[in-house]
Amino acid sequence: MKKFWVILLVLVVLILVALVVIVLIPANDNFIQKSYISNDEKINAIIVDVADREVEVRQSTDGQIHIDYYESEKEYYNLSVNDNNELSFTIAYNKSWLDYFRLKPNITYRKIYLQVPANLLDSIKISTTNETIKLENISVVDTVTLNSNGGDVEFNNLNVGKQIDLVAKNGDIKGSIVGYLDDFCISCNIKKGNCNLPTHKEGGAKSLFADCNNGNIVIDFVQ
**pLDDT for position 97:** 72
Nearest to 153 by CA among 138, 142, 165, 139: 165
Nearest to 197 by CA among 187, 205, 206: 187
Beta-bridge partners for 144: 124, 164
pLDDT tens digits, residue range 208-220? 999 999 999 999 9
Q: Is the pLDDT of residue 185 over 90?
A: yes
The span from the CA of 44 to the CA of 81, in Å, is 10
Domain of residue 26, residue span: 2-222
**pLDDT for position 100:** 66
The span from the CA of 66 to the CA of 200, in Å, is 37
Q: Please, which pLDDT band fits residue 95 given cuts at 50, 70 and 90?
A: confident
Q: Is the pLDDT of residue 6 over 60?
A: no
Percent of the chain with pLDDT over 90: 76
Backbone angles phi, psi at 72, to 5 degrees: -130, 180
The H-or-E segment that residue 81 falls in is: strand 75-81
* Cα-based distances in Å from 46 to 43, 109, 121, 195: 8, 21, 8, 29
| Number of domains the chain is built from | 1
Q: Is the pLDDT of residue 55 over 60?
A: yes
Q: Is the pLDDT of residue 101 over 80?
A: no
Mean pLDDT of 113-127: 94
